[in-house]
Structure 1
Amino acid sequence: MLTLTLRNLERDGLVSRTVYAEVPPRVECALTDVGKSLIPPALALAGWALEHVPGIEASRAAFAKRT
């Protein structure tokens, strides 16, 4: 599953993969410039999630009581 995800990210231009013909096989992955440009929005989303955890948990508890 990890390999599939990394290949999809490579296909989308977010990750570069370097494969080394060694034993055991070795692959290095790195963010491209486009991939690095996603860091600030991802951090903003994580901050939003942390800020809203109490409200989300309260909504989940209220929903669980109703169902």
Structure 2
Amino acid sequence: MSYQKILDAIPKAEILKYLKKNTSLNTGGREVGASTASRKAMIRKMHEIPVKNSKNEKSI
């Protein structure tokens, strides 16, 4: 059986429902779980961008 026949057999609504539940548009299709803040923190660590803190300005 070809993949196309299998894909055609699955209702599009079901696929969309699954995708909406398991991924988020603003995460670029990543699995939902890691918060935006933790992702931004990881990116900052990679690039060593100074972060403005409420008390003081420090470089991570």
- TM-score category by the smaller chain? 0.3 to 0.5
With normalisation by structure 2, the TM-score equals 0.39
Q: Which has the higher helix share?
A: 1
